[in-house]
Amino acid sequence: MKKIEIASNCTLTLMDTAQFKDVLVAVRFLAPVSRRRVMIRMILSQMLCDRCEKWPTKQTLSDHLDSLYGATATCRTAHYGQLNAFEFRFKCLNDQYTRENTFERLFKTAGEMIFHPLRKEGHLDPELFEEAKRETIMANARKLEQPSSRAIASACAIFGKNHALAETQLLSEEELQSVTLQETEAAMAAMLQQEPVMIFVIGKIDEEKTIRYVQRFLPFTDRLPFPQSVDLIEKKDLEEVSQTMNIDQTSLVLVLRCPVTILSEDYWKMRVANALFGQLPTSLLFSEVREKRSLCYSINSSPLAYEGGILISVGIQKSKLEQTKACILEQLQRMQQGQFSKEDLMTAINMLKNAIYGSYDDPLSTLNFAFQNVLLDRQETVEDCIASIESTTCEDVMRIFKELQHCVTFSLEQEEEHENAY
Amino acid sequence: MKTHIEPRYDETYVTETLDNGLRVIVWHKPLMRTTSCVFATPYGALDFDLTAENGERFHHPSGIAHFLEHKMFEKEGQDVMNEFSRMGANVNAFTSYQETMYYFSTSSEEIEAPLTLLLDFVQELNITDASVEKEKGIITQELMMYLQMPDSRLYFEVFKALYQNHPLKYDIGGSPTSVANTTRQQLEECYRLNYHPGRMLLVVAGPHEPSEVLNIIRKNQDSKQFAPLLKVGRTPIEEPQEPAKKKLLIPMEVTSEKTAVAFKLKPWVSTDHERVHDEWAIRCALEAHFSAMNPDYQKWIDEGLINDYFDYEIDLQKDTAFLLFVNETSDRSRFESLIQEELARCLRTPIGFEALNRLKKRYFGQAMRTFNSVENIAIGAARNDFNGVSVFELLEILDQLDQTQVMSALQHLSLQHSALVSIVPMHEKTAE
């Protein structure tokens, strides 16, 4: 892995590996989260991968990508605490398999799509904007139609109140509808001209050639400094909220505040503790809630690495709601009191190591690991993570879990237990 | 042991059939750190009514293959997942309509222990009445989870509408009633009939030398005895050409209506190679008409006839075949007309030479990408094996595909019988 400073706050990270058949080029623009910006960038992500000036219709862009052996050009947004990352991602087969200069053509494609969006009379194309807005509204509604996604979003909105986390949740159709072409255009200009940029290239690459292509096709100049990402959420009183919907299963979400974030020295120890608590089939939650009591099919806990929290999500029968909640909190107590075996701790350590080493074989995990290092301005290696994971003791787990504070219980409940479709 | 080298794709794998009939594929990926192993049986959700070669018939509740998959993880009252986790290996399983697969992946250099454990736990069923009863609550919650997801519910309702008798009309997991009616004895019988090594396939993909991997497998299998294989197959079922329901509206908590127009095709009775060939030929024609490749596609979006939810699926099997279009629309009849009209155009207009070549390039790229992940390689190899055509044979089919072949495959499509299924918002009237 090699990191090069292309311009001020514009980095290029290269990973030369022959493991994969294709090459991945990702360009990430970073900006602070605000509800408005989140929505604008969601719409932009629909617009910018749909067509551009050079390929002004879906058909011409599709034909072009097919000519590059099914290359892909996608856009997405993601949140890292206070930070919104807007990503262009391009992938194509390595030249070795196409026997053509697909790598250079992929960079050309990236340059065209990033710097030359489809315009009409000097402005972003209004028809494309309206279409992208419609698609964004539908995609947002689709996500919230999934009861478990809605429950998680609702719990995060409560936990993250007055923080960036809440800004990204439960967007309404009215809010998305109110986004204008003018502000989208302004956001696009700020993104291209000012926002810090990270470029990642992963695959079998020639370093010199890649740098040349970046300079030629992605000629970014000096940018604003990287914004802050971690947004530790303060202690708060427990809030218990329930809503009802006409659904077949009740979704229960608990959020525990945890003072450990991705920047903390204890971060990997917290990950081990969370694995032991609810991330693995050997975890307390899985074995007690699912296996011993048959209360659910799926239960898991996951860390909120940039906000400081652990989120537990489970789907159950409405009549078992209180029993399930009590059982989860009982497992939390067991963690705090050290009522788990040394063997279970070792299992959690081994599984986490397995996952981290496994990321070597996944270009996206490799990309995200490199992204975190640039974002947090550090040079953490996989070996550093492994060392921290391996050094986790029972006392560490108890200490970290004693600091957890139960802040939110959210349940999305069945209106009544009705006859199902079977 | 037979070594297969594919220089064009830079891939190498070996195959062997052991004395007990178990077929093994070991895919060599020396640059990867992770190993993925899949142990699979061609026994899926459609196989709950079986007939043996001696004429004996076995009927079980729907969802039993999936129930059995859940119970396989029990070993002397313990969950075998824990043992894998202790080895630092991730284990999982899934049941589809056609097959059940158990698999693990690990980035550890040591694979003998988890590989042996995979072989051992799948080759021994150890369950009690009490544990079977306990599992029923878990499976019922799994069924409920999928039932309330609008997308999976749409597909489930489409198959219920299309098929009158064929087991495709049942959910993969069965129903709460069929789950409640499943017994330990039935699970044991299914296990005996479908998990014989002579029926199964083991695929290992990873950095280890294939000869070493094969030695581990041989050592394990040589130490075991198996009863003679009783050959069984899915009991043929008389399925009328007409769908069970021509129209079905399901109210759910959704913002916009999701509609499927599904065509019940005649089963594709041919060789596996021909069936897969025809499926890809038809897919190319459909892609040329029902994607951004079609200049009208943008017009359909602009007119609100489709949105980015729009998709289609074609599946040709020996006993069932269907073509399905899904969309979000408030005007289902206009959508249905659009599909009918464009399909008619698709059947009479030959695919363009350039369009076909572009698609061949696209599918080549997509197929090549499956080699990026050892898990995709292992699961894909098992799936392709059961489907009768390897990924390299598929790449060959695509390479050789021409306009005449596409047109000829399209002529076999029978589009007389269809069903329209919609997931509609709760407040809408459904009494149509």
Out of A68, A93, A351, the one facing B85 most closely (by C-beta) is A351
Instruction: Note whether B126 and B74 are within 8 A (CB).
Output: yes
Which residues in B lie closer than 8 A to residue A347 (C-beta atoms)?
82, 85-86
Residues B212-246: tens digit of each pLDDT: 999 999 999 999 999 999 999 999 999 999 999 99
Cross-strand partners of A198:
A11, A28
Verify that B289 and B203 share a domain, yes or no: no
Verify that B225 and B254 share a domain, yes or no: no
Domain that residue B325 falls in: 247-425
Q: End of a domain among B186, B213, B234?
A: B234
Closest-CA residue to A314 (of A284, A286, A339, A344)? A286
What is the rounded (10 degree) CA torsion for B327, B330, B334, B335?
0
Residues B128-154: tens digit of each pLDDT: 999 999 999 999 999 999 999 999 999
Please report whether residue B239 resides in a domain. no
**Beta strand spans in A188-347 (E):** 197-203, 239-245, 250-257, 299-304, 309-316
Please report whether residue A22 resides in a domain. yes
Out of B147, B298, B372, the one facing A22 most closely (by C-beta) is B372
The alpha-carbon radius of gyration of chain A (Å, integer) is 23
Does the distance separating the beta carbons of B359 and A422 come in below 8 Å?
A: no
**Can you give the three-state secondary structure of chain B, one letter per residue?**
CEEEEECCCCEEEEEEECCCCCEEEEEECCCCCCEEEEEEECCCCCCCEEEECCCCEEECCCCHHHHHHHHHCEECCEEHHHHHHHCCCEEEEEECCCCEEEEEEECCCCCHHHHHHHHHHHCCCCCCHHHHHHHHHHHHHHHHHHHCCHHHHHHHHHHHHHCCCCHHHCCCCCCHHHHHHCCHHHHHHHHHHHCCHHHCEEEEEECCCHHHHHHHHHHHHHCCCCCCCCCEEECCCCCCCCCCCCEEEEEECCCCCEEEEEEEECCCCCCHHHHHHHHHHHHHHHHHHCCCCCCHHHHHHHCCCCCCCCEEEEEECCCCEEEEEEEECCCHHHHHHHHHHHHHHHHHCCCCHHHHHHHHHHHHHHHHHHHHCHHHHHHHHHHHHHHCCCHHHHHHHHHHCCHHHHHHHHCCCCCCCEEEEEEEECCCCCCC
Residues B318-365: tens digit of each pLDDT: 999 999 999 999 899 999 999 999 999 999 999 999 999 999 999 999
Please report whether residue B141 resides in a domain. yes
Verify that A255 and A298 share a domain, yes or no: yes
Please report whether residue A233 resides in a domain. no
Please report whether residue B308 resides in a domain. yes
pLDDT above 50 (res B431): no
Residues A376-391: tens digit of each pLDDT: 999 999 999 999 999 9
Question: Ramachandran region of residue B54, left (φ > 0), alpha (ψ -120 to 50) or beta?
Answer: alpha
Verify that A272 and A302 share a domain, yes or no: yes
Does the distance separating the beta carbons of B10 and A96 come in below 8 Å?
A: yes
CA distance B11 to B116: 26
Verify that A375 and A255 share a domain, yes or no: yes
pLDDT score at A422: 76
Quick one: what percent of chain B has pLDDT higher than 90? 97
Lookup result for tokens 């879990």:
A401
Verify that A160 and A249 share a domain, yes or no: no
CA distance A384 to A376: 15
CATH number at residue B282: 3.30.830.10
| pTM for this prediction | 0.95
pLDDT score at A236: 85
Interface test with A, best of B141, B289, B370 (most A CBs within 10 A): B141
Does the distance separating the beta carbons of A291 and B254 come in below 8 Å?
A: no
What the block records as the tokens of A260 is 């450990």
Q: Give the chain A residue nearest B157 (alpha carbons).
A: A421
Domain that residue A287 falls in: 239-414
Q: How far is B88 from chain A (nearest CA, A)?
A: 4
Which residues in B lie closer than 8 A to residue A354 (C-beta atoms)?
88-90, 106-108
Instruction: Note whether B197 and B221 are within 8 A (CB).
Output: yes
Does the distance separating the beta carbons of A69 and B426 come in below 8 Å?
A: no
Q: How far is A54 from chain B (nearest CA, A)?
A: 16
Verify that A189 and A64 share a domain, yes or no: yes
CA distance A159 to B305: 40
Verify that B208 and B321 share a domain, yes or no: no
pLDDT score at B430: 54
Mean pLDDT by 10 residues, chain A (422 residues): 94 96 97 98 98 98 97 98 98 94 97 98 97 97 96 98 97 98 97 98 96 98 96 94 94 98 97 96 94 95 98 96 98 98 95 93 94 93 96 98 98 81 75
- For residue A46, give Cα distances in angstroms to A75, A152, A174, B291: 7, 24, 18, 17
3-class SS at A94?
Answer: coil
Verify that B273 and B198 share a domain, yes or no: no
Out of A91, A316, A360, the one facing B33 most closely (by C-beta) is A360
CA distance B188 to A40: 57
Q: How far is A205 from chain B (nearest CA, A)?
A: 16
Position A341: which residue type? Answer: S
Verify that A199 and A325 share a domain, yes or no: no
Does the distance separating the beta carbons of A347 and B86 come in below 8 Å?
A: yes
pLDDT score at B270: 94
Which residues in A lie closer than 8 A to residue B105 (C-beta atoms)?
358
* Length of chain A, in residues: 422
Residues B59-93: tens digit of each pLDDT: 999 999 999 999 999 988 788 999 999 999 999 99
Please report whether residue A232 resides in a domain. no
- For residue B54, give Cα distances in angstroms to A65, B230, B254, B408: 54, 8, 50, 39
Please report whether residue B242 resides in a domain. no
Out of A70, A249, A343, the one facing B365 most closely (by C-beta) is A70
Verify that A160 and A252 share a domain, yes or no: no
Which residues in A lie closer than 8 A to residue B10 (C-beta atoms)?
21, 96-97
Average pLDDT along chain B: 96
CATH number at residue A51: 3.30.830.10
CB pairs under 8 A between A and B: 197
Judged by CB atoms within 8 Å, which residues 393-432 of B form the interface with A? 426
3-class SS at A177?
Answer: helix
Q: Give the chain B residue nearest A134 (alpha carbons).
A: B307
Verify that B222 and B308 share a domain, yes or no: no
Residues B291-297 have a mean pLDDT of: 97
> Considering its fold, how many domains does chain A have in total?
2
Q: End of a domain among B234, B268, B297?
A: B234
Burial class (CB in 10 A: 0-12, 13-18, 19+), A105: middle
| Beta-strand pair B247-252/B57-59 | unpaired
Verify that A285 and A404 share a domain, yes or no: yes
Please report whether residue B430 resides in a domain. no
Verify that B188 and B84 share a domain, yes or no: yes
CA distance A43 to A184: 8
Residues 6+ apart with CB under 8 A from A109: A64, A65, A68, A71, A73, A90
**Beta strand spans in A115-271 (E):** 119-120, 123-124, 197-203, 239-245, 250-257
Please report whether residue B432 resides in a domain. no
Q: How many degrees, rounded to 5, is the angle at CA A353 between CA A350 and CA A359? A: 145
Verify that A144 and A287 share a domain, yes or no: no
Please report whether residue B241 resides in a domain. no
CA distance A406 to A212: 52
| Beta-strand pair A10-16/A2-7 | antiparallel
Verify that A376 and A323 share a domain, yes or no: yes
Residues 6+ apart with CB under 8 A from A407: A159, A235, A236, A237, A238, A239, A255, A256, A257, A309
Verify that B222 and B357 share a domain, yes or no: no
Max Cα distance, chain B (Å): 67
Verify that B215 and B272 share a domain, yes or no: no
Verify that A174 and A57 share a domain, yes or no: yes
Q: Give the chain A residue nearest B36 (alpha carbons).
A: A358
Phi, psi torsion values for A412, nearest 5 degrees: -105, 105
Q: End of a domain among A159, A182, A217?
A: A217
Out of A19, A145, A148, the one facing B254 most closely (by C-beta) is A145
Judged by CB atoms within 8 Å, which residues 13-42 of B form the interface with A? 31-34
Does the distance separating the beta carbons of A422 and B373 come in below 8 Å?
A: no
Verify that B304 and B212 share a domain, yes or no: no
> Any idea what DSSP says for residue A278?
I
CA distance B384 to B336: 33
Does the distance separating the beta carbons of B361 and A145 come in below 8 Å?
A: no
Please report whether residue B218 resides in a domain. yes
Please report whether residue A422 resides in a domain. no
Verify that B222 and B259 share a domain, yes or no: no
> Considering its fold, how many domains does chain B have in total?
2
Does the distance separating the beta carbons of A69 and B297 come in below 8 Å?
A: no
Q: End of a domain among B206, B234, B262?
A: B234
Q: End of a domain among A217, A247, A263?
A: A217
Burial class (CB in 10 A: 0-12, 13-18, 19+), A395: exposed
Verify that B230 and B270 share a domain, yes or no: no
Verify that B170 and B24 share a domain, yes or no: yes
Distance of CA A382 to the CA centre of its chain: 20
3-class SS at A269?
Answer: helix
pLDDT score at A418: 66
What the block records as the tokens of B63 is 């969802």
**Can you give the three-state secondary structure of A279-315, one letter per residue?**
HCCCCHHHHHHHHHCCCCCCEEEEEECCCCEEEEEEE
Residue B336: how many other CB atoms lie within 10 Å: 18
Closest-CA residue to A334 (of A384, A291, A394)? A394
Verify that A269 and A391 share a domain, yes or no: yes
